[in-house]
Amino acid sequence: MPEGALKLATWEDLERIPEDRKAEVIAGALCMSPSAAPRHGYIQAALSYAVGGPFGFDRTGPGGWWILLETDVELGRHDVLRPDLLGLRRDRVPKFPDERPITVVPDWICEIVSPSSVRIDRILKPAIYLKSGVPHFWLADPEQRVLQAFQNAGQNWLLLGTWGDGDKARIAPFEAIEIDVTLLFPPVEAAPPSTPA
Domain of 113, CATH number, reads 3.90.1570.10
Radius of gyration over alpha carbons of the chain, in Å?
Answer: 18
Is residue 5 in some structural domain?
no
**Is residue 70 one of the residues assigned to a domain?**
yes
Query: Looking at the chain, how many residues does it have?
Result: 197
pLDDT 10s digits, 133-152: 999 999 999 999 999 999 99
Residues 9, 17: contact at Cβ < 8 Å?
A: no
> How far, CA to CA in Å, does 99 sit from each of 10, 24, 95, 107, 137?
16, 17, 11, 17, 23
Phi, psi (degrees; rounded to nearest 5) at 120 = -65, -50
- Report if residue 102 sits inside a domain: yes
Average pLDDT in the 69-97 region?
Answer: 94
Number of domains in the chain: 1
Q: Which tens digit of pLDDT belongs to each residue from 23-69?
A: 878 888 888 877 778 899 999 999 999 999 999 887 667 889 999 99
Determine the structural domain holding residue 107 and report its residue range: 36-184
Report, as an integer, the average pLDDT of 62-86.
Answer: 93
pLDDT at position 192, please?
60
196 belongs to a structural domain: no
